[in-house]
Structure 1
Amino acid sequence: MTFSAFTLRPYTEADEDAAIELWRRTWATHFPHIDFNSRVAWWRERWRQDLVPVTAIVVAECEGVLAGFMTIDQTSGYLDQIVVAPEHWGKGIALALVGEAKALSPGGIELLVNKDNLRAIRFYEKHGFAYAGEDKNPVSGIAVNRMAWKP
């Protein structure tokens, strides 16, 4: 595994546009059959209303460019997002972001992952998360796996 040189830091308001674009580009790469361009306004609203006010957000930068981020609700331990730019997949950023999530929520973490996102499921299992049952995505209604990490 090749690791990129990157730094982690807390999210700032100045990161919003880069984070929104990173989300769009990454999800569009992973699920090319879904029109994520049409979802940007919705995502920006969700980002501003549902995530920024209540989650800890850590970003990863490579050479001054946003390469990833994660959002975790420290009260509930719910990990809503880990997003890593496709050109940085497999380079250690997601692992570092999961490590930050575990440090910020040491009592445990839960997350939802699309059943067809086998890459993510394997990643989470490899790093201590276990299948914790069936669920539905609260936004799309799609069946998902609930996964949990307990220290």
Structure 2
Amino acid sequence: MAVENLEVRRAGADDAASMADVWLCSYDAALPTVRRAHTDDEVRTWFADIVVVRHESWVAVAEGRVVGLLVLDEGSELDQLYLDPAWRGLGLGDRLVALAKQRRPDGLELWTFQVNGPAQRFYERHGFVAVKCTDGSANEEREPDIRYAWRP
């Protein structure tokens, strides 16, 4: 598995199902204690009908298979960054964050759960700073979270 051999490209409608599969697998692996607010089918429908259609979505593809995804909203929100668990720690996340910064050079913001220490360390390593912590009452999972911001 080499990050150099990956293709990173804009996602299309045909990628929605694979993106949802990566999201589901990654979420379950990284956040085993966090309840999911939506069923697998609801997540798949959300990717097909909303994420790929309304947002700037990117996929990392290795050997014809989606192994990572990046979703940016129309503003400064880094909405989704998920990797197939087998691809963690290989530089793929670094590559996708670099792409996000390139696409949003004026800055980015994102949310991550407080229980997700690896994500916090990852984003902090990339220059993101925690700007707000919540008790989770405003998110669907009802899980305490952290707002991060990157300003160039």
- TM-score band by shorter chain is 0.7 to 0.9
Residue 15 of structure 2 is aligned to residue 15 of structure 1: yes
Matches of 1:95 and 1:16, distance apart in 2: 22
SS at 2:112 equivalent: strand
Equivalent residues in 2 for 1:11-90, closer than 5 Å: 11-33=11-33, 39-73=39-73, 75-90=74-89
Residue 150 of structure 2 is aligned to residue 146 of structure 1: no
Instruction: Give the number of aligned pairs.
Output: 148
Residues 33 and 114 from structure 1, CA distance in 2 versus in 1: closer, same or farther, beyond 3 angstroms? closer
Gaps of 5+ in 2: none
Matches of 1:140 and 1:126, distance apart in 2: 26
Matches of 1:121 and 1:42, distance apart in 2: 27
- Cα drift, residue 48 of structure 1: 3.7
Matches of 2:126 and 2:44, distance apart in 1: 30
Residues 103 and 83 from structure 1, CA distance in 2 versus in 1: closer, same or farther, beyond 3 angstroms? same
SS at 2:57 equivalent: strand
Please tell me whether the aligned partners of residues 28 and 35 of structure 1 are also in contact (alpha carbons under 8 angstroms).
no
Write the letter of the residue equivalent to 1:140: E
Q: TM-score, normalised by structure 1?
A: 0.88
- Cα drift, residue 35 of structure 1: 6.7
- Root-mean-square deviation over aligned CA pairs: 2.0
- Cα drift, residue 46 of structure 1: 2.8
Please tell me whether the aligned partners of residues 24 and 40 of structure 2 are also in contact (alpha carbons under 8 angstroms).
yes
Matches of 2:143 and 2:34, distance apart in 1: 13
Write the letter of the residue equivalent to 1:11: A
- Cα drift, residue 149 of structure 1: 0.4
Matches of 2:32 and 2:141, distance apart in 1: 17
Please tell me whether the aligned partners of residues 35 and 141 of structure 2 are also in contact (alpha carbons under 8 angstroms).
no
Matches of 1:35 and 1:94, distance apart in 2: 24
Gaps of 5+ in 1: none
- Cα drift, residue 53 of structure 1: 3.2
Residues 144 and 34 from structure 1, CA distance in 2 versus in 1: closer, same or farther, beyond 3 angstroms? closer
In the other structure, the counterpart of 1:99 is 98
- Identity fraction in percent: 26
